[in-house]
């Protein structure tokens, strides 16, 4: 490793550590038995696998949290946002996992509207007294169609930065980009949902939402 590349690598490591510390300082531990709301669409619901294999169910088993699966197949970000106030009122979650927008991208809906809906959902959850963990969703591209390689849509990182939210990066991109972890092009299989839940838990640990 050259001196320049080593300095660049060290700078990147220090930047990541600083970001993690900043997110950790903002987060509060979510205790065992706390209610966690998973807001989303079909990949939250668990389409492509048995119900017990959905990522909210796996996450509940891994953490001891009471994870409410609020995934509705086919929902756009606007539809998920419309459901959110009643869900917050009913469940009063300590943490909301916001993972919406995939159907907007597939239907080529307005990116500005999607951004506004995702950001509004996060803000509503915080206003209700919940912490928020934002989940990035991959962007469909021509390259992804041919290569299977997926990347997070940039709007999630931008929203996370604007609202100072912890962000689950690359979880769905990794799972849906691996044919062994998916049931079809847009849904995971049981192994994929397990993998995603484990990646999400690692992020929760890194930002201070989970300690074990």
Residue 118 burial (C-beta neighbours within 10 Å; 0-12, 13-18, 19+):
buried
Q: How far apart are CA 42 and CA 19, in angstroms?
A: 31
Cα within 13 Å of Cα(27), Cβ side: 26
Long-range contact list for 143-149, CB < 8 A, 24+ apart?
144/177, 148/177, 148/178, 148/179, 149/177
What 3-state DSSP class applies to 208?
A: coil
């169609």: which residue's tokens?
145
Positions annotated as catalytic residues are 42, 184, 187
In the sheet that 35-40 helps form, which strands lie side by side, from edge to edge? 66-71, 35-40, 95-99, 131-135, 167-168
């Amino acid at each position: 490793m050259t001196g320049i590349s080593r300095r660049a690598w060290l700078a990147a490591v220090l930047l990541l550590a600083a970001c993690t510390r900043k997110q950790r300082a903002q987060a509060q531990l979510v205790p065992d038995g706390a209610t966690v709301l998973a807001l989303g669409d079909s990949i939250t619901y668990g389409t492509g696998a048995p119900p017990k294999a959905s990522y909210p169910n796996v996450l509940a088993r891994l953490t001891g949290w009471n994870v409410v699966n609020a995934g509705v197949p086919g929902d756009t970000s606007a539809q998920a946002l419309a459901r959110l106030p009643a869900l917050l009122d009913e469940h009063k979650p300590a943490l909301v996992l916001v993972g919406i927008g995939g159907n907007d991208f597939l239907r080529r809906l307005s990116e500005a509207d999607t951004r506004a809906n995702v950001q509004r959902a996060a803000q509503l959850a915080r206003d209700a007294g919940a912490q928020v963990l934002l989940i990035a969703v991959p962007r469909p591209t021509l390259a992804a169609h041919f290569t299977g390689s997926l990347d997070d849509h940039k709007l999630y990182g931008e929203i996370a930065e604007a609202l100072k939210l912890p962000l689950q990066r690359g979880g769905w991109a990794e799972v849906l980009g691996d044919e062994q972890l998916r049931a079809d092009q847009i849904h995971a299989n049981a192994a994929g949902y397990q993998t995603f839940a484990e990646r999400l838990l690692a992020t929760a640990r890194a930002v201070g939402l989970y300690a074990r």
